[in-house]
Amino acid sequence: MDAATRETVSEQETLRELIDRETISDLIHRLGAVLDDQRFDDLALVFAEDASITTPGGHEEGLDAIVAQAARNHTPELRTQHLATDLVIDLDGDRARARANYVGVFAVGSGDPAPAPRFQIGSVYRFDLVRTADGWRVHSMEMLPTWASGERP
């Protein structure tokens, strides 16, 4: 392989890695937005069909069970805001691992346009991801709470 071909291959590999990282970052941020907007069916855009999750709300396996748990833990009168930061992604071909800090803010109030937060929790989220025919998806997720403040709704 000549130098020009090696450079082209290297550029293509770098471009693919950047696209993969951006796609995974979007996926992890999309999780919080889907929960906040209570669009639970859109979790199919985040999780693989055979995914598993472990959170304080329980352990679930399979997309249908994950959607059901999300709906149970994010009821219509509950307003949430999930903030993801410090995302670190380790790529390994068609698999990846990621870590993010999440702060979840919970407020209750159906009539108030901006109710006061009642509960906040800071957690480390760990993700195992896989490239599928539909793109990157979370294969497993673990939520590890590190602090909490207030009364859990």
The 10s digit of each residue's pLDDT in 97-113 is 999 999 999 998 767 78
Q: What fold characterizes domain 3-150? A: Nuclear Transport Factor 2; Chain: A, (3.10.450)
Average pLDDT on 77-93 reads 96
Determine the pLDDT at residue 2. 73
Prediction pTM value = 0.90
Q: What are phi and psi of 91, to 5 degrees?
A: -90, 145
Average pLDDT rounded to a whole number, residues 25-51:
97
Cα 72 to Cα 55: distance, rounded to the nearest angstrom? 13
Per-domain residue ranges of the chain: 3-150
